[in-house]
Amino acid sequence: MAQRTLVERLIAADAGGTAAPLRLGGEFASSSELLDSVLINMRAVLNSRAGCCQVRPDYGMPDFNGLVGRFPDAIAIIANAVRGQIEAFEPRLSGVSVRHVPDRSNPLRLAFRIHAALVVGDEVERLSFDTVLNNDGFVRVMG
């Protein structure tokens, strides 16, 4: 059952029920709403820094500044951190794999392709997302 996140349910309740319709149990009315919710959550998780949440110290991406001198090994470390955060904090996705996508014109660009499965009812949808770690330290997630 693919449900809305807690924050989405709170916002809908605060809006007096004027948010997009829900099915019984807080499920999404359409698969596109579910995909949008997953993307929003992935952006929030991947753009949070480790230690930002006192009740979940493992929530958020670690500081990668110390990895500057460790290339190309740093690519695998970052990919593992991305995969770990998605597996831990986006439970609607399973079978997550993260692969570096090299850019020959800009070898320092850190882009990754994420493949995962999203269970919707009795069906499994295969998804892929592109992510780029920007110079400002934020991750752009495109789905």
Give the CATH number of the domain where residue 121 resides.
3.10.450.40
In a domain, 112, yes or no: yes
In a domain, 137, yes or no: yes
In a domain, 18, yes or no: no
pLDDT digits (tens, 9 = 90+) for 37-87: 899 999 999 999 988 988 999 999 988 777 777 777 888 999 999 999 999
- Amino acid letter, residue 50: A
In a domain, 83, yes or no: yes
pLDDT of residue 108: 75
In 3D space, the residue among 114, 106, 115 whose CA is nearest the CA of residue 134 turns out to be 106
pLDDT at 25 over 50: no
- Number of separate domains in the chain: 1
In a domain, 71, yes or no: yes
Range of the structural domain that residue 99 is part of: 30-142
In a domain, 43, yes or no: yes
In a domain, 25, yes or no: no
Q: In DSSP terms, which residues pair with 142 in a beta bridge? A: 130
pLDDT digits (tens, 9 = 90+) for 6-24: 666 666 666 665 544 444 3
Indicate the pTM of the whole model.
0.77
The band of 30, judged by pLDDT with boundaries at 50, 70 and 90, is low
End-to-end C-alpha distance for the chain, whole angstroms? 21
